[in-house]
Amino acid sequence: MLWSDPENKPPKELRDAQDMMRRAGLLLALAMVVAMVVLGTR
**Per-residue exposure over 2-39, b if at least 16 CB sit within 10 Å of its own CB, e if not:** eeeeeeeeeeeeeeeeeeeeeeeeeeeeeeeeeeeeee
* 1-42 pLDDT tens trace: 456 656 667 788 989 999 999 999 999 999 999 999 999 998
| pLDDT computed for residue 8 by the predictor | 67
Q: Which amino acid is at 34?
A: V
| pLDDT computed for residue 10 by the predictor | 73
Q: Evaluate if pTM is beyond 0.75.
A: no
| pLDDT computed for residue 2 by the predictor | 57
